[in-house]
Amino acid sequence: MSLALIVILPFLGAILPALMIRAGRNACATSTFTVTLLAFLLLMTHAPAVFRGEVLQARWEWIPQLGLNVNFFLDGLGFFFASLILGIGLLIITYARFYLAKEDPMGSFYSYLLLFQGAMVGIVLSDNILLLLIFWELTSLSSFLLIGYWKHLPEGRQGARMALTVTGAGGLSMIAGMLILGHIAGSYDLSVILQHKEAIQASPLYLPALLLILGGCFTKSAQFPFHFWLPHAMAAPTPVSAYLHSATMVKAGLFLMARLWPVLAGTDEWFYLVATTGLITMLIGAWIALFKDDLKGLLAFSTVSHLGLVTFLLGLGSPMAAVAAVFHILNHATFKAALFMNAGIVDHETGTRDIRKLGGLMTLMPIAGTLATIAAASMAGLPLLNGFLSKEMMLEEAAHTAWLGNEWIVPALATLAACFSVAYSFRYIVHVYFGKPAGETPRHPHDPPFGLWGPPALLVVLVVLIGLFPATVAGPLVATVAGAVIGGPLPDYHLAIWHGLTPALGMSAIAVAVGLGLLAGYIKVRKLWSAGPHPEAKAMFQAVIAAAVSVAQKITHGLHNGSLQRHLAFAIGAAVVVGFGAFAAASHAPGQRELLPAAPVAIVVWLLLVGATIALVALHRQRLVSLIAIGVIGMVVSLAFVYLSAPDLALTQISVEVVTVILMLLALNFLPKETPVESSGGRRLRDGLIAALAGIGVGGAAWAMTTRDAATLSGYYLEQSVPGGGGTNVVNVILVDFRGFDTFGEIIVLGIAALTIYALLDGATRGAVGRKLAAWVPDQARSADRHPLMLVVATRVMLPLALMVGAFIFLRGHNVPGGGFIAGLVVAIALIMQYMASGYSWAAQRMKVDYHALIGIGVLIAAATGIVSWLADYPFLTSAFDHFHLPIIGEFELASAMAFDTGVFLTVVGAVMLALANLSRIGGLTETPVPNEGPMEPDLSATHPREH
């Protein structure tokens, strides 16, 4: 439970800053800090077990059929990253309190930060890759909010969109790769997947899975060629930049590569894909960083370079390289977070981040200058600092790596990247804090308050302590984390300042010398840079997006032009092509079931069905005739259900048919009686051909199914209807028990449809539309006797009988044909007949039921039935039944499904009546008093006084 609480705490706490900001900025920051501190302390309680090599697990089944479970586990790797996320998070929260301006909405900032923090912790502690994917996408969404926090800045909005687009696309790639990986391993739990290295690497799906997963890792960790989004994310506030670049967002890809290292690494594919990408990214990022004039831009590209360094190490596939990668992740987090916060200090105190406008700040800002010098020297890889140690380990591994048989390419490129790293690190130090001031800055520089320099100072202390005492300060942690990454015994290594005269030391010395030389001749080097090509990633990205949008618009406008006919033609045409394609590609054998002789009555009814269908197609422009033909077709289908011993379906079909015909008649009252010719002869020929082919296909499929024996679920339902659902009417038991969740969703959809119809029709009774409708003159002569006396009397006599029939059908539905759905339709028909016979106004005065509430009550009753099952520790909507005995009445059965059926009944009545009554209401607007109609004439002024 504690593992889940570590993940949940930031999400739960995200609401606190939004509330506490009303109490002041200090209260807002304190509440955020407290939430993160609680999660951090809870994590630290597990530190002893983790350092002993234990793996802590927490498991809850969610959707086990899909392999989606809420499983968390904590090993050395997860503990390491969670510590970075929460530990540096505490420093960022403190720093942000003093960095953000008064006009910045601090409450929303801290809420976004906690959401992002929770998503990151969820990634590193997830033991289920499907759950991990959920958190993975949450990081993209929450980072979008953080990067675009300053919504008034166009570059902030653009950077957020770019980050979301690139990392979101990579996330889609990774989803596919993870699903393949889980399929190969036979489980979606990481703890299981990590035990199937041989099966995964031997699978023919290994390479597709590897490519797709690396697509997600490379985009998230800004590897070439996806590196361009990261510098544009610098439009975010500096606390966000420091957090994303040091311990969270961009480290997610590195984490996943490290997590899957035991099962994916060690192959040639892994080496050439990962190590090559990392080496190229390390080199390109360092080269570009050297010429960036914006402090955060320089640090952003340096981050790209160092992410490439770690990726390169992980790609080598050797245990020693994995140890070096882990060590550099730790070192990079310390000095890079400190440097980003230092860049924010410079911007905050001078009003600019442009290196060309800075210089000589050491005398004016000695504290900030000292911290920046130490952190940047570590980034350059100078001795006695932590960056030197992991850089030496990287160079040592590079010195013994061959690429395509060549032993010089990798060492040379790694050394060149190290040269650029030294150059841009010293440029940060010299051009900002030493030398002559470049000019007046917008603000007079001075050291900031402790709240701004305290957090980076703590990180700089770690930089020095790890550099001086690596085995003591970082040794146990690195060993524990590396053991989790490697998944086996650790190689023989020692974290020490001096390892003797090694190739790595020589390469490092070359890097320092060449780097200082590049800085000394920076003006000339800058001219060479300026003379070369500079492809702008942002422009290329925007061009690609614009082209994709243009193509999508052309396709969309071409396909979706508002024509339902075209939509159906494409959908049905595609189904026809796929169906006949599958038919043509398969072998066929005749069915073995004997055909039954058709009775003469069945043949006559079938001919009636065919005739009505032909009449509908031929006379479809005459709307009233078409409606009659549709009614005939529906009635024939109902008779077919009766003939095939499906009385429940027959009752449902008849009821739905009556309701549909009434609905169409009411709507047809306000429409032209003939449909205009809208389709050309060629389009009608196309549609007829598609319809004929679809009909042949469906008919052929039906023929194939009915002439073959096939195993279906019907046997199970027939056997379990009484013992499992307590009812002999299998259809009703399926609806309210076996497939109750489907029915629950259907009544919700029915209710939404009715509310939609109400919303559409409600506007027709008011305003200009209502006045126009009230003044509408029918296009055909209407009978003066709109409410015939015989119809009025008949409907009123039938109403109690119909209600009794509805109640009878409802009560018997669990054991014989009937049920809540059919009963609801019967009652709705009886009620709507009152509107038709006596007019809307008369019926509305006497029908005091709120149909909106009826829909809501029905859905709530159905939901309550399912919730009661939960409370009884059963799955949602599990029904119960028992037999009872009462005097006089005798033995009877009572099932909880009746309550669910009651909800269905009320929802159906409410939905149908809401739709039909509102159509009838529109008809009431057009009513005008007719003399000599007696007391049956409705008084329209009672409900619509504006009509007179």
Q: Write the burial class of residue 373 (CB in 10 Å: 0-12 exposed, 13-18 middle, 19+ buried).
A: buried
Does residue 736 sit in the same domain as residue 640? no
Question: Following DSSP, what letter does each residue of 289-320 receive, concatenated?
Answer: HTT--BHHHHHHHHHHHHHHHHHHHHHH--HH
840 domain residue, yes or no: yes
Average pLDDT of the residues of the chain: 86
Does residue 545 sit in the same domain as residue 624? no
pLDDT-derived band at 780 (thresholds 50, 70, 90) equals low
Does residue 635 sit in the same domain as residue 486? no
Decide if pLDDT at 54 tops 50: yes
Does residue 368 sit in the same domain as residue 420? yes
Q: Which of 459, 494, 520 is the last residue of a domain?
A: 520
The pLDDT assigned to 29 comes to 93
Does residue 553 sit in the same domain as residue 636? no
User: How much is the average pLDDT of 113-132?
Assistant: 93
Does residue 416 sit in the same domain as residue 330? yes
123 domain residue, yes or no: no
159 domain residue, yes or no: no
pLDDT tens string 823-848: 998 998 888 888 788 877 787 778 77
The pLDDT assigned to 75 comes to 92
Decide if pLDDT at 931 tops 70: no
Give the number of other Cβ atoms within 10 Å of residue 644's Cβ.
11
The pLDDT assigned to 46 comes to 94
User: How much is the average pLDDT of 476-483?
Assistant: 93
- Report for 28-37, 148-157, 590-599, 665-674: range of highest mean pLDDT: 28-37
pLDDT tens string 534-549: 777 777 888 888 898 8
The pLDDT assigned to 70 comes to 87
pLDDT-derived band at 478 (thresholds 50, 70, 90) equals very high
Q: Which residue has the higher pLDDT, 783 or 309?
A: 309
Residues 433, 345: contact at Cβ < 8 Å? no
Q: How far apart are CA 317 and CA 320, in angstroms?
A: 9
The pLDDT assigned to 591 comes to 80
Q: How far apart are CA 508 and CA 396, in angstroms?
A: 10
Does residue 622 sit in the same domain as residue 740? no
Does residue 515 sit in the same domain as residue 533? no
87 domain residue, yes or no: no
**Which residue segment(s) compose the domain that 546 sits in?**
529-558
Q: Which of 636, 657, 676 is the last residue of a domain?
A: 676
pLDDT tens string 451-469: 899 999 999 999 999 999 9
Does residue 554 sit in the same domain as residue 648? no
User: How much is the average pLDDT of 841-861?
Assistant: 85
392 domain residue, yes or no: yes
Measure Cα distances from 284 to 249, 306, 573, 749 in Å.
21, 11, 50, 55
pLDDT tens string 181-221: 999 998 899 989 999 999 999 999 999 999 999 999 999 99
Does residue 486 sit in the same domain as residue 374? yes
Q: Which of 520, 542, 570 is the last residue of a domain?
A: 520
Report CA 83 to chain centroid distance, whole Å.
27
Measure Cα distances from 149 to 105, 239, 280 in Å.
9, 11, 32
The phi, psi pair for 860, rounded to 5°, reads: -65, -40
Q: How far apart are CA 610 and CA 383, in angstroms?
A: 92
Does residue 478 sit in the same domain as residue 538? no
Measure Cα distances from 478 to 253, 326, 471, 490, 565 in Å.
19, 7, 9, 11, 65
The phi, psi pair for 103, rounded to 5°, reads: -80, -10
pLDDT tens string 300-330: 999 999 999 999 999 998 999 999 999 999 9
The pLDDT assigned to 588 comes to 79
pLDDT > 70 in the chain, percent: 95
769 domain residue, yes or no: yes
Does residue 922 sit in the same domain as residue 778? yes
173 domain residue, yes or no: no
Count of domains for the chain: 4
User: How much is the average pLDDT of 550-577?
Assistant: 83
Q: Which residues of 471-485 are buried (b: 16+ CB within 10 A; e: fewer)?
A: eebbbebbbbbbbbb
The pLDDT assigned to 308 comes to 94
pLDDT-derived band at 778 (thresholds 50, 70, 90) equals low
185 domain residue, yes or no: no
